[in-house]
């Protein structure tokens, strides 16, 4: 991939007011795994097509939850971290083609907008795109243009802080070193042009 998914904690988290992420280097491939509970909570509220693509699957944290709920999951990422034959090596932003199903993922922070736009291009009419993103994704003029063109249908916000763990290390994060960043599930439905709704969940 021509883009480098490398940054550092200070450059990305200090900007969002999360001082507890001001030291140390970010994971080279911008790999911050999503707490599985975040998806469990979403699936209590939202249903999806039986075929789901997770294009930034990391170590299958979200994919395993989906499979446990009976979904048929396509797993891919820019690198295969598990080397077990379950993950396709695909640069999602360069993918050409369509996907007859839904897309659910936590995209690399630097390319979140690119991932949303690509996913909406890849899925066919009426299918859903669910992205686990910072609430600050609602800000900025560039993203406002995206929302004007393709508004999300729903934004699910947890009343309890949900975590993303560097390199998938939730053991360390469970010891009180978790993120101060607030996340939510943004749900797009291709073709939707109405007003977004905010839903809180526990």
10-14, 87-91, 113-117, 131-135: the lowest-pLDDT one: 10-14
More confident call, 6 vs 131 = 131
Which CATH number does the domain 34-201 belong to among 3.40.50.150, 1.10.510.10, 3.20.20.140, 1.10.287.70? 3.40.50.150
What are 89-113's pLDDT values in tens digits? Answer: 999 999 999 999 999 999 988 899 9
Kindly report the average pLDDT of the chain as a whole number.
Answer: 83
More confident call, 81 vs 89 = 89
Cβ-defined contacts of 180-183 (< 8 Å, 24+)? 180/17, 180/18, 180/19, 180/20, 180/21, 181/13, 181/16, 181/18, 181/21, 181/134, 181/136, 182/134, 182/135, 182/157, 183/38, 183/132, 183/133, 183/134, 183/135, 183/158
Give yes or no for residue 13 having a pLDDT over 50: no
Give yes or no for residue 24 having a pLDDT over 70: no
170: confidence class by pLDDT, cuts 50, 70, 90: low
Over residues 53-65, the mean pLDDT reads: 95
pLDDT at residue 175, rounded to an integer: 55
Q: Which residues lie below 8 Å from residue 195, measured CB to CB, with a gap of 6+?
A: 151
pLDDT at residue 36, rounded to an integer: 85
What are 147-164's pLDDT values in tens digits? Answer: 999 999 999 998 887 876
12: confidence class by pLDDT, cuts 50, 70, 90: very low
Over residues 155-182, the mean pLDDT reads: 68
> Where are the domains positioned within the chain?
34-201
Cβ-defined contacts of 84-92 (< 8 Å, 24+)? 86/60, 87/57, 87/60, 90/55, 91/1, 92/55, 92/56, 92/118
pLDDT at residue 178, rounded to an integer: 54
Over residues 9-23, the mean pLDDT reads: 33
């Amino acid at each position: 991939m021509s883009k480098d998914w490398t940054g550092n904690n200070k450059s990305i988290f200090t900007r969002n007011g999360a001082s507890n992420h001001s030291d140390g280097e970010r994971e080279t491939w911008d790999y911050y795994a999503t707490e599985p509970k975040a998806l469990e909570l979403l699936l209590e509220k939202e249903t999806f097509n039986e075929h789901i693509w997770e294009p930034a699957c990391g170590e299958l944290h979200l994919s395993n939850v989906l499979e446990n709920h009976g979904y048929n999951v396509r797993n891919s990422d820019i690198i295969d971290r598990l080397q077990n034959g379950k993950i396709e090596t695909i640069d999602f932003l360069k993918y050409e083609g369509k996907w007859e199903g839904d897309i659910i993922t936590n995209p690399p922070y630097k390319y979140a907008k690119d991932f949303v736009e690509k996913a909406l291009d890849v899925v066919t009419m009426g299918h859903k795109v669910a992205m686990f993103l910072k609430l600050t994704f609602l800000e900025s003029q560039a993203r406002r243009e995206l929302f004007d063109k393709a508004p999300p249908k729903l934004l699910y916000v947890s009343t309890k802080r949900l975590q993303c763990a560097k390199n998938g290390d939730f053991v360390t994060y469970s010891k009180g070193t978790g993120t101060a960043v607030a996340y939510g599930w943004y749900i797009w439905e291709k073709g939707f042009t109405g007003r977004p709704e905010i839903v809180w969940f526990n």
